[in-house]
Amino acid sequence: MKYDSFEKIGIGTDIEEIRRFENFQERQFRVFLEKNYTKPELEYCMSKDAPAPHLAARYAGKEAVIKALYSLNVTHIFYPAIEIINNESGVPNVRINSNENENLRIKLSLSHSSSMALAFCIIQKEK
């Protein structure tokens, strides 16, 4: 069996406690948001009656993407360069604002309960 194709697939997962996204003091919360989320992400999350689960899910998503990228030796992409926006069907799409995003196919799944947010990412690096 050839394993070469597995070297081109990265996986990452993350889980976050939603309460972490509810208990920030106002100033700390704003700084955290500005450092880690894009404007469209914040607009989406803040449009919800309860933003915390959506903020937590997107943060977990960014963590999962970074972990999947690291497993492919792509190490120069950080939170602000990763944008997670739902398409018209509600499926999260990942956009990476970096030159290193070429030849990457990214699939991301986000979910949350009342207390936890989870993300799972698979990235295929094409030749």
pLDDT, one tens digit per residue, over 53-71 is 999 999 999 999 999 999 9
pLDDT at 100 over 90: no
pLDDT at 41 over 80: yes
Task: Quote the DSSP letter at residue 48.
Answer: S
Break the chain down into helix, strand, coil percent, rounded to 5: 45, 30, 30
Would the pTM of this model clear 0.85, i.e. be above it?
Answer: yes
Beta strands in 33-115 (DSSP E): 82-86, 92-96, 104-112
* Beta-carbon count within 10 A of 53 CB: 22
- Measure the CA–CA gap between 109 and 118, rounded to whole angstroms: 8
Q: Please tell me the CATH code under which domain 4-125 is placed.
A: 3.90.470.20
Kindly list the domain boundaries of the chain, sorted by start residue. Answer: 4-125
